[in-house]
Structure formats: C-alpha cells, structure tokens
Amino acid sequence: MKTHILYLLVLIFFSSSCKTENNITFDLELNPEQLEVFGLDYISTALNERDIAISPDGNHLVYTLGDYKQTIRSLVSIKKKGVGWGDKEILPFSGNYNDIEPFFADDGSKLFFASNRPMGEDSTRTDYNIWYAEQVNGKWSNPIALDTLVNGPGDEFYPSVSSNGNLYFTATRTGGIGREDIFVSTFSKGKYSAPIPLDSTVNTKTFEFNAFISPDEELLIFSSYGRVDGLGGGDLYYSKKDKMGKWKKAENLGEVINSDKLDYCPFIDIPRNNFYFTSDRAKAPEDRIKTVPELTNEANKVLNGMGNIYRINMDKLNLN
C-alpha cells in the first residue's frame, strides 16, 4: 500500500513538473478598459521586456527580452498553437548579438529590427543598425542590413514601416533638430531615399525616439524626454496629420498612459484595437523590508523597475 501511494506521489510530481509553457494562455482579442501588465509572469517577468510586435493575423508575437542589466538582449518568438500559444523561443537568427525592437511589415512575413551585429566585412562595427529577415515556408532567412543611406556610422533604432513601405526610425545625425530625432525614409521603386528628420511639431531640441507609425501614416506615437510638459523619465506623445498632410504639434498622452518613470516603445495592434507600450514603473513595498529574503523577493517581482509591457484598449487614449 505504501509503495502504491509513493508511486502516485512520484507520478503527480513528474506530471506537474513536465508541464510545458504552452499550457499558459493569453488573449490578444481582449480589450482592457484599464491599463494592465500584459502577459503577467509569462511575457512580463522580473527580467527586462520591451518592444512588442504582433503579426497582422494575430498568430505570432515577438518581443525583446533582456537580462537585468540589458547586456544580453534577444528577440523572443511565441506562435499560436491550437487554442493556446506555443513555447517562448529565441528566433533562430537572434542570440549572438543584441537584437531589439522588432516590427512586422507586409503580411507579417518580414520582420524589421535593430541590432549591433557587424555590418558587411567590418567586424569591429558595433553600432546599432536596422536589419530585416523574411519568413519563407515557415523558415527565417538570414538577416539583411539596410544600405548605408539609412544605416549611417552612428546608431539607428526602432524601425516602423507604413503600408507603402516608408520607414520611420530614431537616430542622432547631422541635419537633425535635437539630441535624438525621428527620421523618415520614403520607399520608392524598391529603394529607400535619404532620411529626413520630421519637423519641429514632432522633433524638438531634446530627445525624441521610438516612433510607431500607423499603416496609413496618419498617426505617429513616440517617446520624448526633456519636454516641459513631461511627467517624469520620458513620456509617450502623439501627432496626427492635418488636411494638408503636415504633422500637427505633438501632445502628451497624459496620465492614463504616462508615469513618472520611462514610458516608451509604443505599438498599436490595429486589427484588435489595442495599444501596447513598455514602462519602467515599479511598485514600492508597502512595509519596511526587514530581512534579506524579503529584499530578494521584492527584487524578483514583476514590478521591480525593469521594463514590462503594458496594454490598454486603443479607444481609451482619446486621441483628438
């Protein structure tokens, strides 16, 4: 009898221990009326998460996962599997270098991202540049860097592509307005034009970065640091085009979205009408920390000040 009970206990232990990640589910179709941490304890964890991208069909999700100091940053992929989701996997072309800021273009078969991997034959080059990889028959191609007209000698970050192929990205370069600016490179006949900075209704003398462009190029959401109306460590702003096709003066998204910490990396899941972004906000302990285990527990909580991904119904942004 004791042997039988022991066998059952061992069986229960191993069956619970062998549960795979795809037992965890999250629903992209939900439209939360209030701001929520997305994928709590599964996508948003005690590590650094940021830069989410969702394929148009809603079957593929990619985000950046980094260690505590963000010395290691890789692109993590999760695909739909039946009624739930499959395991988290590092993309096959990621993991050797710091790869960040994914963006699905076209039908979701092309993924743009920023990386500090060497460009061309210059193995000493470690600046961030914009790359893309294509998925053909379920397999990813080797990444290709955009040409040097876009990828200059400095850093290029946060690619976002409209439906006509125009590329918006972040850079600091000659001809810019501030210390970091948002640039656009138009796409025509299979080539990108020389990038130009957006005008002073968007870019200022401080920092503008991480811009998401809507497919129709009518809405831009981006981060900025150093503005007089900022709430803290960097806020999210938006601009819409006027009847003449010019960008209106950017406005702060307000306290519904922004905190006194860094809020950045915006993404709109257009088909499902949800707004995502990254925030470094934290939840302070309610009582005095009395023991080392208590301190360790606080350090390993999801809301420990490392980057997490947040989500809210797009309608709650109340864009004018």
All domains of the chain, ordered by start, with CATH?
Answer: 46-317 (2.120.10.30)
CB atoms within 10 A of CB 262: 19
Q: How far does Cα 74 stand from its chain's mean position?
A: 12
Cα(83)–Cα(110) distance, integer angstroms: 25
**What is the end-to-end Cα distance of the chain in Å, rounded?**
72
pLDDT confidence of residue 133: 97
pLDDT confidence of residue 124: 78
pLDDT confidence of residue 270: 96
Q: What is the pTM of this model?
A: 0.91
Question: What does the pLDDT profile of the chain (320 residues) look like in tens digits?
Answer: 444 444 444 343 333 333 434 455 689 999 999 999 999 999 999 999 999 999 999 999 999 999 999 999 999 999 998 888 999 999 999 999 999 999 999 889 999 999 999 987 777 778 999 999 999 988 999 999 999 999 999 999 999 999 999 999 999 998 899 999 999 999 999 999 999 999 999 999 999 999 999 999 999 999 999 999 999 899 999 999 999 999 999 999 999 999 999 999 999 999 999 999 999 999 989 899 999 999 999 999 999 999 999 999 999 998 97
Q: Is 238 exposed, middle or buried (0-12, 13-18, 19+ CB in 10 A)?
A: buried
> Which amino acid belongs to residue 109?
S
Which residues pair with residue 252 across a beta bridge? 237
pLDDT confidence of residue 23: 52
Q: How far does Cα 225 stand from its chain's mean position?
A: 18
CB atoms within 10 A of CB 147: 10
Sequence-separated (6 or more) residues with CB below 8 Å from residue 266: 210, 211, 212, 221, 222, 223, 236, 275, 276, 277
